[in-house]
């Protein structure tokens, strides 16, 4: 690949030293490169080919959050992403600044593989008839609003009631998102290239509520119950940690597999299980 678009989080690379270094190296090796501010880029209603130009690869410089925003906003563009970690944990942004030139050499010489990651889509149906739709690479999370305590969540799968939770919220995660909020809430870690969804209640008021692993072809429906007599907004739904939508009693969030995938470039020889052990403090040989 010779043509690149760098999307940078300016809060992670304040003076753009790393970004400019990457651009200069790409150009010195016969490639072309354009730089855009990640906040401006992801503020577009959707990211189209007009915005990405003739780029063959989008280099995302930031943390996992920046990469998730880019992945969620891309609309009908078949461009793979590669993340260079300027954040903390970095499960998705596999590249490290210390190995920047080596990474770029592999990309420029087509020495890499591509992983296809499942995405999910959420359709929010409000009682007033309005709808909101959004895709996520990591997860869709419904959580309590404001100072409300427990919220009521009637969760159905394939039209059948799975459970009626009283909880702080619920996480519906993709395999990619299993190492995110799902993990913090006690959910399982699954292989990122699997085709499935995980439902994990957050602090449920129950001794028996556990995570449920579902086929990627299932359809999940979550209805918000009424718990607050003096508060209209019962909960908030967020997509990959952003794009929050307020939810009231009777509102429904339908979640299912998206017809789009995210293509992530793998340009080093460290596999997911090694990353998992290193990032989460597993034992070392």
Q: Is residue 165 within a helix (H) or strand (E), and if so which, with residue range?
A: strand 160-167
Q: Residue 195 half-sphere exposure, CB side, CA atoms within 13 Å? A: 9
DSSP assignment letter at 9: -
Instruction: Judge contact between 141 and 178, C-beta under 8 A.
Output: no
Cα–Cα separations (whole angstroms), residue 159 to 51, 90, 198, 216, 285: 40, 36, 17, 15, 48
In angstroms, the CA 39 to CA 53 distance is 18
**Considering only CA atoms, which of 68, 37, 61, 12 is closest in space to residue 242?**
68
In angstroms, the CA 135 to CA 118 distance is 11
- Judged by DSSP in three states, 114 sits in strand
Asked if 64 is an active-site residue, the reply is yes
Kindly name the residue from 13, 64, 139, 168 that is annotated as catalytic.
Answer: 64
* Other C-beta atoms lying within 10 Å of the C-beta of residue 115: 15
- Judged by DSSP in three states, 42 sits in helix
Which position has the token pair 């930031």?
A: 62
In angstroms, the CA 195 to CA 190 distance is 10
Catalytic residues: 64
């Amino acid at each position: 690949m010779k043509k690149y678009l760098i999307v940078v989080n300016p809060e992670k690379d304040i003076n753009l030293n790393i970004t400019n270094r990457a651009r200069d190296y790409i150009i010195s090796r016969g490639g072309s490169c354009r730089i855009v501010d990640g906040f401006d880029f992801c503020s577009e209603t959707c990211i189209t080919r007009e915005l990405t130009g003739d780029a063959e690869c989008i280099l995302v410089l930031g943390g996992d959050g920046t990469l998730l925003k880019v992945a969620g906003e891309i609309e009908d563009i078949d461009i793979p992403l590669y993340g260079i970690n300027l954040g903390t944990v970095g499960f998705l942004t596999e590249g490290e600044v210390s190995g920047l030139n080596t990474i770029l050499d592999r990309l420029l010489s087509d020495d890499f593989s591509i992983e296809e990651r499942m995405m999910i889509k959420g359709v929010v149906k409000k009682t007033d008839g309005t709808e909101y739709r959004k895709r996520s690479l990591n997860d869709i999370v419904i959580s309590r609003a404001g100072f409300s305590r427990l919220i009521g969540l009637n969760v159905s799968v394939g039209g059948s009631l799975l459970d009626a939770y009283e909880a702080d919220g619920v996480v519906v995660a993709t395999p990619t998102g299993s190492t995110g909020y799902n993990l913090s809430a006690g959910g399982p870690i699954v292989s990122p290239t699997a085709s499935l969804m995980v439902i994990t209640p957050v602090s449920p008021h129950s001794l028996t509520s556990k995570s449920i692993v579902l086929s990627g072809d299932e359809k999940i429906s979550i209805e918000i119950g009424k718990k607050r007599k003096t508060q209209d907004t019962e909960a908030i739904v967020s997509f990959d940690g952003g794009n929050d939508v307020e939810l009231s009693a009777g509102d429904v969030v339908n979640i299912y597999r998206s017809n789009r995938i995210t293509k992530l470039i793998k340009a080093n020889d460290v596999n997911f299980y090694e990353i998992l052990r290193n990032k989460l403090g597993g034992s070392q040989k």
